[in-house]
Chains A and B, each alone.
Chain A
Amino acid sequence: MPGPLPADSIRRLTGFGMSVSADGYVYKPANVAEIGAVFKLARENKRKVVLRGAARSYGDASIGAECLILDLCGLSKVRVFDPVSGVLEAEPGITLEQIWNQTLPEGWFLPVVSGTMRTSLGGALAMNIHGKNNFQRGTLGEHVLEIDLMLPSGEIRKLRPNDELFYAAISGAGLLGVITRIRLQMKKVSAGTVKVEAVSCRNWGEQFAAFARFEGKAEYVVSWIDCFAHGDSAGRGILHAAWHDENDPSSLQLSAQTLPDKIMGFFPKSSVWKVFRLLNNRFGVRILNAAKQAQGRVMEHGKVIHQSLAAFNFLLDYVPGWEKSYLPGGLIQCQYFVPFDKAPAVFKRLVEMQQEAKLESYLAVMKRHRPDKFLFTHAVDGFSLALDFKVTASNRAALWELARRMNDYALENGGRFYFAKDSTLTAEQAALFLGRSLKKFKEYKKLYDPEGILTSGLAERLKLV
């Protein structure tokens, strides 16, 4: 038996949704050499390794029971940034927030961002994140010029977009190696604000019509859906389309990007989640949604406002700690990526299924997507519907059963899934969704991680490894 690991390095870890946990031994390397040392330790102790960045994946992608957890947040430096070309070279643990904080004053923003800026760059590439501009700019991986991938053997491969492995390392959920260095092409902006147009939609028909109106025109489009609305009002919500403003250098400064720390000028936002918690039930959310819909109809519809890039893009950071309003059970998110033609019928049915089960999503968001050529791509030429569900001790079994049925239904209709969000797919569903990509992935796994050292809760659940 090998010698024990440091007993006090064990932690109970969860994903962003806090609905599932696992205990692991946490290692936080300060440099690339120390990453290699963790792989060596894992081999000696016959343990597996799970990669973890900022832990913003909702489910079990960054946790693993009794594994060594390689926390990459210690590697968080920008190595080089060229303000002329906009090429950034950085370490994987840096957050998107740290990146744009450094580059925006020079006129460069991230080409693709997640709904929270507190994701790590390495994690964002492992999941190949998209943003509200997916239909225009693709995924973050499409803007990467080069990465270093450290294999569990310790060998470092330099990968560029003409390498086949590049498309598996990015999107591969951190199961083939550690991305230790990233060269990323940033996006030139001449203002730190966007022009936002709001469209209040009374039903699914108006939602899809509004998306069609901005197709190919707006830079960003995102819509909120009220999953409690039924009948003729089903699919109601508010769509926001946005365009980058131009030639306003003063708005590039960070002082123009700070999210306000008070609501209505006096209510401290750090406490808002406690109020949310009181309303975070079927009754409360039904009322809130109706109020939001009415407010959107009366006060926002057809209006144009200007918002900072941070305020528009990072809605999830607007109310700090909002996810805690879902405690003690946490939340899961189910996100369905459905082909263009099928989306109207499929989304309508997915919401009906929730209503029939009396397990409506408390927050639903719709976006437009385009396909990409990464191995575990989640995107389609179509739409996605992202659904947040509150998990409680009493609804857990019924919620997973609803998710199983919704997953099956989406699969039957060419649906795809996103590992950054998933908590509910089964191994059989994942195999159907991934098809030949899974076979290809397993070939890569044999080649680049023959001992099967890299894993995760997600990988075990979906039998990816």
Chain B
Amino acid sequence: MANPFRHAIVIGGSSGIGEELVKQLAASGYKVAAVGRNEAKLREIATPYAGTVITFKHDVREYDKVPALFQEITKQLGGLDLFIYSSGVMPDVEMDEYDFDKDRAILETNLLGAVAWLDQAAIRFDKTGAGTIVGIGSVAGDRGRGGMPAYCTSKAALATYLESLRNRLSTKGVKVVTIKPGPTATPMTVNSKFKNMMPADKAAALILQKSKSGGEHYLALPHRVIFFVLRNVPSFIFRRMRI
């Protein structure tokens, strides 16, 4: 039942890992829809791939617009094989800061927007019996850290949501992939204190490679080991670890 043409949507395709995913998918022969907030940046990304990359300006917090936009995009693409949700924000949050507006923006972008879009992809792939859904989570979702409560929550909830989708769809020929990158050099982390961050292009290449099989994936072997340990550290120790 092969279809020679491959089609992908990347939500959050105007910067960071999403931008790299768009470029690498286009270079490997996909027709890609890049969806993001920054219209000028989207145009700039698409220019070298005229006819291969199409762009849509959209803020994922406009949930009501998602079903119609999803159909418009798939119509313009001419099909859908791969759906990637790569939108995410991580504003600086102080250790004693409880700013609801900030937290809300994080949860809306990283989680509610994801649910709105993932649902559309899930309905479609459920009915067509094919396709791959990829959600970009984070190692930060593995534990509730003191530094960024809302961010950790959003990524933990996203991973759980994706796991549920996987349990619904894996018997129907649909792959659901959760990617948990570690610190990655993107505009989102430009003000962060992380060292030795993975370049975004390398992260994107690993994501596409690992998305060939369903399930949860870290991007580096040390992460797999470290976060296996961290996930199992008892809470009374973890709270003293200051990470």
Contact (Cβ within 8 A) A4 B70:
yes
For A460, give the chain B residue with the smallest CB separation.
B78
Contacts A1-B68, A1-B69; A47 near B1 (Cβ below 8 A): no
Within B193-228, which residues are at the interface with A (CB < 8 Å)?
A: none
Q: Specify which chain B residues have a CB less than 8 angstroms from the CB of A329 in the assembled complex.
A: 2
Residue of B with least CB distance to A67: B75
Which residues of A have CB within 8 Å of B74? 23, 66
The one of A1, A14, A65, A330 in contact with B72, judged by C-beta atoms closer than 8 angstroms, is A1
Is B24 part of the binding interface, using a Cβ–Cβ cutoff of 8 Å? no
User: Per-residue 0/1 for A51-88: is the Cβ within 8 Å of any B Cβ (1 yes, 0 no)?
Assistant: 00000000000000110000000000000000000000
B68–A3 contact, CB under 8 A? yes
Pairwise interchain contact A8-B68, C-beta atoms closer than 8 A:
no
Of the residues B4, B71, B72, B78, contact of A7 by C-beta under 8 Å: B71
How far apart are A109's CB and chain B's nearest CB, in angstroms? 35
Partner of A66, one of B3, B67, B75, B123: B75
Q: Determine the residue in chain B with the shortest Cβ distance to A391.
A: B2
Is B129 an interface position by the 8 A CB rule?
A: yes
Q: What CA separation (Å) do A66 and B74 show in the bound complex?
A: 7
| Chain B residue with the shortest CB-CB distance to A9 | B127
Looking at the assembled complex, report how far the CB atom of A10 sits from the nearest CB atom of chain B, in whole angstroms.
Answer: 5
A4 touches B71 (CB 8 A): yes
Contacts of A2 in B (CB 8 A): 68
Interface residues of chain A: helix, strand, loop or mixed (majority): loop
Q: Determine the chain A residues whose CB is within 8 A of the CB of B71 once the complex forms.
A: 4-5, 7
Q: Is A440 an interface residue (CB 8 A)?
A: no
Per a CB cutoff under 8 Å, which of B1, B68, B72, B124 touches A18? B1
Q: Which residues 91-140 of B have a CB within 8 angstroms of A? A: 120, 123-124, 126-130
Which residue of chain A has the shortest Cβ distance to B3 in the bound complex?
A: A21
Determine if B79 is an interface residue (Cβ-Cβ < 8 Å). yes
**A47 proximity list for chain B (CB < 8 A):** 75
Contact across chains for B1 and A14 when beta carbons are under 8 A apart: yes
A12 CB-CB contact with B under 8 Å: yes
- In contact, A396 and B127 (Cβ under 8 angstroms): no
> Roughly how many angstroms separate A47 CA and B1 CA in the complex, as a whole number?
24
- Residue of B at shortest CB range from A20? B3
Given A12-B128, A47-B75, A66-B78, the answer on whether A7 and B67 have CB atoms closer than 8 Å is yes
Instruction: Flag whether B80 is at the interface (Cβ < 8 A).
Output: yes
The reply to whether B79 and A23 contact each other, CB–CB distance below 8 Å, is yes
As a 0/1 sequence over residues 378 to 413 of chain A, the CB contacts with chain B under 8 angstroms (1 = contact) are: 000000000000010100100000000000000000
Question: B70 contacts which chain A residues (CB < 8 A)?
Answer: 4, 7
Most buried by A among B1, B70, B127, B128: B1
B78 adjacent to A330 (CB under 8 Å): no
**Chain A residues with CB below 8 A from B4, complex form:** 396
* A 12-63 contacts with B by CB, 8 A: 12, 14, 18-23, 47
The interface residues of chain B lying within 8 Å CB-to-CB of A5 are 71
Chain A residues lying within 8 Å of B72, measured Cβ to Cβ, are 1
Query: B126's closest neighbor in chain A, by CB?
Result: A8
Q: Which residues of chain A have C-beta atoms less than 8 A from B3's C-beta?
A: 20-22
B172–chain A nearest beta-carbon distance, Å? 11
Q: Tell me if A11 and B128 are in contact (CB < 8 A).
A: yes
A328 at the interface (CB under 8 A from B): yes
Q: Mark B151-182, 1 if CB is under 8 A from A, else 0.
A: 00000000000000000000000000000000
Q: Closest Cβ of chain B: how far from A401's Cβ, in Å?
A: 14
Q: B127–A66 contact, CB under 8 A?
A: no
B2 with A8: CB separation less than 8 A: no
CB-CB nearest in chain B for A327: B1
* Contact status of A23 and B75, CB under 8 A, knowing A3-B68, A4-B70, A8-B123: no
Q: Are B1 and A12 in contact (CB under 8 A)?
A: yes
CB contact between B2 and one of A9, A23, A396 (< 8 Å): that residue: A396
Binary contact readout A205-218 vs B (1 if CB under 8 angstroms, 0 otherwise): 00000000000000
B1 engages A21 (CB within 8 Å):
yes
A65-B80 Cα distance, complex, nearest whole Å: 10
| Contact among A8, A20, A23, A393 with B80 in the assembled complex (CB-CB below 8 Å) | A23
Q: Which residues in B have their C-beta under 8 angstroms from that of A9?
A: 127
Task: Decide: A11 and B68 in contact? CB cutoff 8 A.
Answer: no
A residues less than 8 Å from B69 (CB atoms): 1
State the Cβ distance, A41 to closest chain B Cβ, in Å: 13
Q: Which residue of B lies closest to A2 (CB)?
A: B68
Chain A residues, Cβ within 8 Å of B126: 8
Q: List 16 A-B contacts (CB under 8 A).
A: A1-B69, A3-B68, A7-B67, A8-B123, A8-B126, A11-B128, A14-B1, A21-B1, A21-B2, A21-B3, A23-B80, A23-B128, A47-B75, A65-B79, A66-B75, A66-B78
15 extra interface residue pairs, beta carbon distance < 8 Å, beyond A5-B71, A22-B3, A65-B78:
A1-B68, A1-B72, A4-B70, A7-B124, A8-B127, A10-B123, A12-B127, A12-B130, A18-B1, A19-B2, A23-B79, A23-B80, A328-B1, A330-B1, A393-B2
A-side residues, CB < 8 A to B, are 1-5, 7-12, 14, 18-23, 47, 65-66, 328-330, 391, 393, 396
The list of the 5 closest CB pairs from A to B, nearest first, reads: A12-B128, A4-B67, A4-B68, A66-B75, A7-B123
